[in-house]
Amino acid sequence: MRARQVLDPVIDLVFPPRCPVCGDAIAAQTGICAACWMDMVMPGEPACASCSRPLSEVAFGQGMQCGSCLAKPPRHDGIAAATLYTEPSRKLVLSLKHGRRIALAPVMARLIAAGLDRVGPDWIVVPVPLHRWRLWQRGFNQAAEIGRALARLRGAQLMVAGLERRKATPSLGGLGKKARKRALVGAISVPDRMKPRIKGARVVLVDDVLTSGATSNACVSALKRAGASEVVIACFARVID
């Protein structure tokens, strides 16, 4: 703590704190400006009882489910999203992921933690894995950085190596739903050495963005096959189609 007290003013002098969303001056390196906070869209009620997808007031009812969950019940046990994927949240994610502003991970984790009240010391936090080549290129796994801060906030156990991406997959951004699913077949698994710890565990699966759900579904399936009793997906931003 004393080292930070000495170094932080020096860092701020060399690199004046700027909001990663709009670029305005802010008080610290680990936040965003008040105006951009106001522009963030937070999920709320009414929402699907299974996946927390926002529902219209007309569809609202106790235990109501969205059409996707009714058509195909999810394998996960709930989704906790800090924000909906809008321009401010997109810029924040890109600042962490490609701008290498790792200090933003605790900010994102604090917002996610607000929706995980029941998570505590008896839970395991597992980040969505990167393939080793992607990790080497980027230098860090943004999901692991968010997961590390989230585990600390909720008093849970962090298991960075709880999942592994065994094969490199193409960027899923331009692929359709079926193509994404095909690309991930056999790509993600629980390492044998981790299976005893996963069996019977309650797991929080962490990612920065939840898009189509193809990657998170592959992760959830791997964790459930390894014996996880419960898997909740936690993300900073969620894309609503």
Q: How far apart are CA 128 and CA 71, in angstroms?
A: 26
Q: Looking at the structure, do residues 68 and 184 belong to the same domain, yes or no?
A: yes
Using alpha carbons, list the distances in angstroms from residue 38 to 33, 168, 235.
9, 38, 19
Domain count, the chain: 2
Q: Is 227 left (phi over 0), alpha (psi -120 to 50) or beta?
A: left
Read off the pTM: 0.86
Q: Looking at the structure, do residues 24 and 132 belong to the same domain, yes or no?
A: no
Q: Is 173 within the bounds of a domain?
A: no
Q: What is the pLDDT along the chain (241 residues), one digit of tens a residue?
A: 454 444 454 445 445 677 777 776 765 656 677 777 788 888 887 888 888 888 876 655 566 888 888 888 899 999 999 999 999 999 989 989 888 888 889 989 999 999 999 999 999 999 999 988 888 888 999 999 999 999 999 999 999 999 999 887 766 666 667 777 777 778 899 999 999 999 999 999 999 999 888 899 999 999 999 999 999 999 999 998 7
Q: Looking at the structure, do residues 83 and 130 belong to the same domain, yes or no?
A: yes
| Domain containing residue 132: CATH number | 3.40.50.2020
Are 33 and 26 in contact by the 8 Å Cβ rule? The answer is yes
Q: Is 27 within the bounds of a domain?
A: yes
For the chain, counts of helices (H) and of strands (E): 10, 7
